Every structure is written in structure tokens, then in C-alpha cells.
Amino acid sequence: MNVGSLKRTAQRLLPTGGWYVIAIPYLWLLLFFLIPFLIVLKISFANIALAMPPVEPVFAWTQEQILQIRLHFSNFGFVFGDSLYIEAFLTSVRIAGVSTLLALVLGYPMAYGIARAPSGWRNVLFLLVVLPFFTSFLLRVYAWLGLLGRSGPLNGLLMHLGLIHEPLQLLQTDFAVYVGMVYSYLPFMILPLYSAIEKLDLNLLEAAADLGCRPAQVFFKITLPLTKEGVFAGCLLVFIPAVGEYVIPALLGGPDTLMIGRVVWDEFFANRDWPVASALAIVLLVLLAGLVLLLQRIQAREEAI
Amino acid sequence: MSDAYIRLEQLTKRFGEFVAVRQVSLEIAKGEVFCLLGGSGCGKTTLLRMLAGFETPSEGRVWIDGVDVTDVPPYERPVNMMFQSYALFPHMTVAQNVAFGLRQDGLGRAVIADQVRDMLALVQLEGYGKRKPHQLSGGQKQRVALARALVKRPKLLLLDEPLGALDKKLREQTQFELVKLQEKLGVTFVIVTHDQEEAMTLATRIGVMRGGEILQVGTPTDIYEFPNSRFVADFIGSVNMMAGRLSVDEADHARIDCPELGTTVYIDHGVSGPPDSSVSVAIRPEKIQLTTEKPSQKDNVIGGVIAGVAYLGGATRYLVRLPTGFLLKVTEPNVLRHEAHFQKDEAVWLCWHGSAPVVVTR
């Protein structure tokens, strides 16, 4: 066999360049998502133990060299059985949902403004939206502690205007959590909305006006339906991380703001109950994945019509 | 007040320093098909957009059917527009697109359904109502756009390059359909186009635009046979343009010295210009005859040599080099199938009738 045919054989057997490119993200997901997920899944079926790590092994070899698998479903039963967890889930969904809605209402006009700004301005405005990411997320949330504090600038301003006579309790309330959430996740809403609005054909808006639509009608009949994908994408990008958010409710929220991220944290570190914490994480993941699939299904059905 | 249906009064539109439309006054009668013809950037689209209400004039007024609509927003004007890109709503079906304007008017469901069906039948798109725009061909999209704009029975229909996106064969067919439809409905059309052939076929009158101004308004024949400027003569069709000097100017004839032709051009009418003034002479290629024998007529005869031949099927286009070195374009119709064509380098005589040359002073 000469060198040429050897090379050809090798080329036939080895994957091509395109395959490698696709393989990189898959490998990444496998290493940093799927494997950790499987570990968490395993722990969620384990029993708690006084050891390090504080779980009994799920897979074990008996003395007869038989693989023994012990699955404890009680963790999930515990999660669904305790109203505390259910409440935490509901609170998380409520706070994330309201935050998403607020981010949409605030983000849409901003994205619209950027997309319709003169092209020279667009990059500047875009940079301003992304600029907060240059600072640590924790630091930015921390800054709100000062801004919303009893002697902070917001209370100062309200007092100065004479609207209130003594400082409002803003921190440790749901209000502070909403402020933190909307502030932190607004860019994730604006970016997909911007790209959807930017693609919109301006002729369509003029055509609608020409056919008798007032500006508000043009928005609801043409602009909004045609930027629906951006709305979906933005809402998911805000809602999903917001549901599991830990830092914002922990720093800005009060003792009543019991969100699921905080419960998972407490189970892991305070209770050292890894199995229940893992079970909570799995339930959250299934809920969110189900939501995404549902939305995709709705979207696909609408396109098919 | 004149009885013009559409009236533009000293209409000007500035974008910053740039003047897109300059002091345009125009009157269009009811039922007319008026074409705004010009190259890109001549202001024709801006003028159209001012009629639609998408642009507010910097100066001047727009009147439609006796009403000053200058400050009326597009959604309240009795005007509809067919966009160059068609601008069909991609998230709606064909029927929903056509019904859109009627829905805005708050008509009843049954009435809308009837009108949409009639309109789709009129543009020969029965049975296409449930399709989405992306499932249609270019010609079908064009007809949906037309149906959508016509269904509200506007007093004025604006068409921006209505046939620009269609291929040549389809364009010719659609031109005639458009004219038929217009005659049937009696709606006044204002069409913007850069395609002179389109303008000639569709229009009852043409306005030739350049640099934001209308240079000439007239019927297609007026524009072609009696252009009032070098630009119009050159823009519409093909033309031989020569500089000259007015040497004789009587009531019934005129003579112009043309150094480029090496002869004097005889014209069978007076031009009433200042004596000895510089003018331009325009002669259409099809108005020049080619012969091997020297023609008997006294004036407007020159000899030349064929420098190029292009057989176009319906006609043959020659380039004839004159003794002065000037190249004249000549078009001869191919009347007979076995016609002998002139060959390159053949010596020929050129002649034209005294009515053929057009004298333009600007």
C-alpha cells in the first residue's frame, strides 16, 4: 500500500473538518452540563448519610460482586409533600414572571429605540446596554443595597420632594427583588428584541398606515406579531435564570421572599441534605424544560397555520 | 380652484440641506394614469410619498378631490399605495392581507368576505386566499399587493415601480392587465418608474423628473416626439444629439449649422430662437434612412461608412461614421425576412425628413 492510498483511507475513516466544529459545543455540553446533571440526578435518588459527601452511594458492589442500585424516591415525595417547597416554587414563578413582564414592558421601547436610532448612534446605545456586564454582577446587586437603603439616594429624593416624611423600608421587600431582577436581566430582554425589531421591514409599517391603521394599531397588528420570536426569546432568557436566582433575593429580599434558589442553597449548605437539594434542582429543571418545550410547540403550531 | 382631481401646488421637500423635490406644481385629472419617470434620486419616490402622506412637504400643498390633504396622516387619506417590495404582511394569509384595509374601516364580516373574493377574482387569484405570501411567486405577490391596495376603492392609487420586480415576459403581460384593470375600475393612478418603456405603455401622461424638478409633462407621444430639453430627448429612447448654431430662422423653416455632421440641418418649421444662438439638434435613429444610392432630396443628406452592425431581430441598428468622424445611430426595421443588411465598412447615404430633427435649447 503506498502513501497516497493510505492517506485516502485515513481521510475516509476520520471525520471531516465540519464534524470537529460541531463536536466542540457538544463536547462542552457533555463535560459541563450532562455529566454534572447526571451527578445531581444520582444524588437526588440517594439517601442522606453522616459522611463526606453526605450521601449514601447509589451504586455499590455487594460481596458477591453484584451491582446493587438503591434508589430513594422519598426525596421527591418530600419535595412535593412539604408546602414550604411548593410555596417556594410558586413564589419563584411569580417573581420571575412579574420581573419578565416588567422587563418586557421596559425593554421593548428601549430595543425599538435602539433599532430605529440613526446608525451612528446604534452602536453607542448598544454598548450602553451591555456596559453593566463589564462590572461584577454581585457588585452591581450590592450597589442596590446602598441605593435603596433607608439613608439611600432614593429615599433622600422622596423626602426632599416632600412626598414622604420618613424613609421607606425598601430593602428586604419584594419591591427590591423586582428592581434587582429587572435591572440585572433587562439586557437579556433587549438583545433578542433588538435583533427582531431591527429585521422588521419598515415598508410593512407604512403599508399598514396606508391601509388605515393608526400608529398604536400598527404596533399591535404588525410590529408586535412580527417580532414575536424576539419576545419569546427575551422572555425565556429572563424568566429561566430569574426563577432559579439566588443572589438577588438573598441580598435584596426579605425573610418572606422565599425563592427556590435560596431553598436549594439552604438545603445544601445549612441542612447538608444533598439529596433533597438535588431533588429540588431536578424538579426545577424539569419544570423549566417543560415550559420551553411547550412554548416551542405553540410557536411551531402557529407557524404551521 | 381649478377642476383638477389631484393638484400639487409648489411642492418642495428638503432633507436637511438636500432638496429632494423642488417647487413641483402638477394637475392630474380623474381616471388618469400619470407616470413620474426619472432616474434614481430624481425625487419621484419622494413626490409619491408626499401624496401617500409618508412625507410632509417642506412647502406647498396637496389637494385631492378638492380637499387639502397636506396635513392629513396616511391612515386618513383616501389614497392607497402599492409598494415596490409589495410589503405584504408575512404573518397573514392572502385573504387577510386583502381584507386588512376593510377591517380597518370596520366593515362587517360578510361584506369583507364578499369584497375580498371579488377582488381576488379580479386579479385572477381565486383559490389563493388561504396561502401565505411566502408561498406565492413574484407575479402572484404583485397581484395580491394590487388587490390589497385597490380593495378600499381609493380615490388615488400610488404605484411605486409596480413591475420592477418581475421578469421581462411577465412584465409585458402585467402591463396590459394593469391598464385593463385601471380602465375597468376608473381609479386614478400615479405610477413611479425609472423604466421608460413601462411609462410609455401604462401612462396617459408622463412627467419626466430630474434633480427634484419636473422637466416636461405630456402624453407619451409628446415626450418622445417633442422633447423640450436635451435631457428628456436623451432619457426617453435613443437619440443622436448634436450641437449646432441657428443660422436661418424663418416662419416656415430653419437651418442649423452642425459642425459634428459637417452639414446644415434643414427643419421644416421655424424654431423662433435668437439668431446665431447655440442649440442642440436631436434626431431619433429610426427617423434616419440608409440607402446605397444617393437620395434625390436636396437637404438633410450626408454620406458615411457603416462602422458597426447590431441585428436585434425586429430591427437592425447601425453605427455610421461620418467624414467628420462623428458616429450616428441609425435603426432600420426588418420588414422582409430575406432583407439584405448593410455590411460593415460599406459606404452609405443617410437622409431624413425635414420634420425629423428636434431643436432643443436647454
Chain B nearest C-alpha distance from A215 (Å): 9
B66 vs B53: CA distance, rounded Å: 16
B298 vs A292: CA distance, rounded Å: 90
Question: How is residue A224 written as a grid cell?
Answer: 408586535
pLDDT value at position A54?
83
* A212 within a domain of the structure (yes/no): yes
Within an 8 Å CB–CB cutoff, is residue B135 touching chain A? no
Which chain A residue shows the shortest CA-CA distance from B49?
Answer: A206
Query: Which of A145, A104, A114 minimizes the C-alpha distance to A253?
Result: A145
Query: Which of A237, A259, A240 minimizes the C-alpha distance to A248?
Result: A259
Q: In terms of domains, do A27 and A111 share one?
A: no
Residues near A193 by Cβ (< 8 Å), separated by ≥ 6?
A: A107, A108, A111, A112, A227, A230, A231, A234
Within an 8 Å CB–CB cutoff, is residue B105 touching chain A? yes
* A11 within a domain of the structure (yes/no): no
B236: three-class secondary structure by DSSP? coil
Q: In terms of domains, do A146 and A283 share one?
A: yes
Task: List, by residue range, all CATH 3.40.50.300 domains of chain B.
Answer: 6-233
Is the Cβ pair A210, B90 closer than 8 Å?
no
Is the Cβ pair B80, A211 closer than 8 Å?
yes
| pLDDT at A17 exceeding the cut of 80 | no
pLDDT value at position B75?
94
Q: In terms of domains, do A129 and A248 share one?
A: yes
Which chain B residue shows the shortest CA-CA distance from A213?
Answer: B75
Confidence category of residue A1, pLDDT binned at 50, 70, 90: low
Query: Which of B156, B149, B155, B158 minimizes the C-alpha distance to B36?
Result: B158
Task: List, by residue range, all CATH 2.40.50.140 domains of chain B.
Answer: 238-360
Tally C-beta pairs within 8 A across A and B. 56
Q: In terms of domains, do A178 and A223 share one?
A: yes
Q: Which pTM value belongs to this model?
A: 0.81
- B49, B76, B81, B144, best to mutate vs chain A, most A CBs in 10 Å: B81
Please count the residues of chain A. 305
* A137 within a domain of the structure (yes/no): yes
Q: In terms of domains, do A153 and A250 share one?
A: yes
Is the Cβ pair A203, B89 closer than 8 Å?
no
Chain A nearest C-alpha distance from B89 (Å): 7
CB-CB: which of A212, A214, A222 is closest to B101? A212
A208: three-class secondary structure by DSSP? helix
Domain of residue A25 covers 16-72
Of all helices (H) and strands (E), which one includes residue A96?
helix A83-116
| pLDDT at A259 exceeding the cut of 80 | yes
Using a CB-CB distance cutoff of 8 angstroms, which residues of chain B are in contact with residue A207? 81, 83, 87, 89
Chain A nearest C-alpha distance from B104 (Å): 6
Which chain A residue shows the shortest CA-CA distance from B81?
Answer: A210
Torsion, Cα A143 A145 A150 A152, to 10 degrees, reads 10
Which chain B residue shows the shortest CA-CA distance from A216?
Answer: B75
Within an 8 Å CB–CB cutoff, is residue A98 touching chain B? no
180-219 of A, contacting B, C-beta below 8 A: 201, 203-204, 206-214, 217
CATH for A80:
1.10.3720.10
User: Which string of b and e fits A99-119 if b means at least 16 CB within 10 Å?
Assistant: bbebbbeebbebbbebbeeee
Chain A nearest C-alpha distance from B295 (Å): 59
Region of A283 please: left (phi>0), alpha (psi -120 to 50) or beta. alpha
Of all helices (H) and strands (E), which one includes residue A36?
helix A35-44
**Site of grid cell 425635414:** B354
Is the Cβ pair A211, B152 closer than 8 Å?
yes
pLDDT value at position A305?
60
Q: In terms of domains, do A270 and A123 share one?
A: yes
Q: In terms of domains, do A191 and A205 share one?
A: yes
Using a CB-CB distance cutoff of 8 angstroms, which residues of chain B are in contact with residue A213? 75, 104
Domain at B238-360: CATH code? 2.40.50.140
| The last residue of a domain, from among A72, A88, A118 | A72
* A3 within a domain of the structure (yes/no): no
Sheet with B263-267, side-by-side order of all strands: B263-267, B254-258, B240-249, B278-283, B358-360
Q: In terms of domains, do A26 and A159 share one?
A: no
Average pLDDT over residues A175-198: 95
Q: In terms of domains, do A214 and A187 share one?
A: yes
Within an 8 Å CB–CB cutoff, is residue A11 touching chain B? no
For residues B281 and B337, is the Cβ–Cβ distance under 8 A? Answer: no
pLDDT value at position B3?
66
Q: In terms of domains, do A35 and A149 share one?
A: no
Please count the residues of chain B. 362
Q: Of the ranges A85-89, A156-160, B276-280, which one carries the lowest mean pLDDT score?
A: B276-280
Chain B nearest C-alpha distance from A281 (Å): 39
Burial bucket for residue A229 (CB in 10 Å: 0-12, 13-18, 19+) = middle
B320 vs B348: CA distance, rounded Å: 8
Within an 8 Å CB–CB cutoff, is residue B83 touching chain A? yes
- A211, A218, A227, A302, best to mutate vs chain B, most B CBs in 10 Å: A211
Is the Cβ pair B83, A206 closer than 8 Å?
yes
- Per DSSP, B296 falls in state S
Q: In terms of domains, do A89 and A65 share one?
A: no
B102 vs B83: CA distance, rounded Å: 18
Using a CB-CB distance cutoff of 8 angstroms, which residues of chain A are in contact with residue B80? 210-211
- Per DSSP, B286 falls in state G
Within an 8 Å CB–CB cutoff, is residue A82 touching chain B? no
pLDDT value at position A286?
93
| pLDDT at A23 exceeding the cut of 60 | yes
* Tens digits of pLDDT across chain B (362 residues): 456 899 999 999 999 999 999 999 999 999 999 999 999 889 999 999 999 999 999 999 999 999 999 999 999 999 999 999 999 999 999 999 999 999 998 889 999 999 999 999 988 899 999 999 999 998 899 999 999 999 999 999 999 998 887 888 888 888 888 888 888 888 999 999 998 888 998 999 999 999 999 999 999 999 999 999 999 998 888 999 998 888 888 878 888 888 898 888 898 887 777 778 888 899 999 999 998 888 888 889 899 999 999 988 888 999 999 999 999 999 999 888 776 778 888 899 999 998 889 988 87
Using a CB-CB distance cutoff of 8 angstroms, which residues of chain A are in contact with residue B190? none
Using a CB-CB distance cutoff of 8 angstroms, which residues of chain B are in contact with residue A225? 91
pLDDT value at position B92?
94
pLDDT value at position B1?
42
| The last residue of a domain, from among A25, A50, A72 | A72
Is the Cβ pair A207, B81 closer than 8 Å?
yes
Domain at B6-233: CATH code? 3.40.50.300
B71 vs B78: CA distance, rounded Å: 13
Number of domains present in the structure of chain A: 2
Residues near B30 by Cβ (< 8 Å), separated by ≥ 6?
A: B5, B186, B188
Using a CB-CB distance cutoff of 8 angstroms, which residues of chain B are in contact with residue A224? none
Chain A nearest C-alpha distance from B208 (Å): 26
Q: In terms of domains, do A51 and A191 share one?
A: no
Using a CB-CB distance cutoff of 8 angstroms, which residues of chain B are in contact with residue A206? 52, 54, 74, 81, 83, 87
Burial bucket for residue B8 (CB in 10 Å: 0-12, 13-18, 19+) = buried
Chain B nearest C-alpha distance from A230 (Å): 15
CB-CB: which of A210, A222, A226 is closest to B81? A210
